[in-house]
Amino acid sequence: MSFTGKYELQHQENFEPFMRALGLPEDQIQKGKDLKSISEIVQDGKKFTVTITTGSKVVKNQFTIGEESEIEMLNGEKVKAVVQLEGNNKLVTQVKGMKSVTELNGDTITYTMTMGDLTLKRVSKRI
């Protein structure tokens, strides 16, 4: 199953408490919570390029399944991470005490990030 495509954020749960837990300033959280977010994923075998555009902010990450890569997190921090593919539709990584799962089902991508007992869930549809 190919992840390649453009996806528009439809809805999200726990955005504000999760961003606070990451240490983002309140003004950035309030600005970011209602902005339209577009994710573009390009998959070439085991190589991925993920570009997330939210308002004027663009985060671009490139990684290869099973290899250590530098990834920029939602708060702008850059960390080393290894992304694994589970089955043929789930990208999973553990970063700084957080588990990130990106799951593709048909035209919908569900992005779930868990830190302790706090979970951020974002659902996007292919456009």
pLDDT digits (tens, 9 = 90+) for 93-121: 998 889 999 999 999 999 999 999 999 99
| C-alpha 60, offset from chain centre | 10
Neighbours of 60 (CB within 10 A): 11
pLDDT in tens, 4-40: 999 999 999 999 999 898 888 999 888 888 888 999 9
Q: pTM of the full predicted structure?
A: 0.90
Q: Can you identify the CATH homologous superfamily of domain 5-126?
A: Calycin beta-barrel core domain (2.40.128.20)
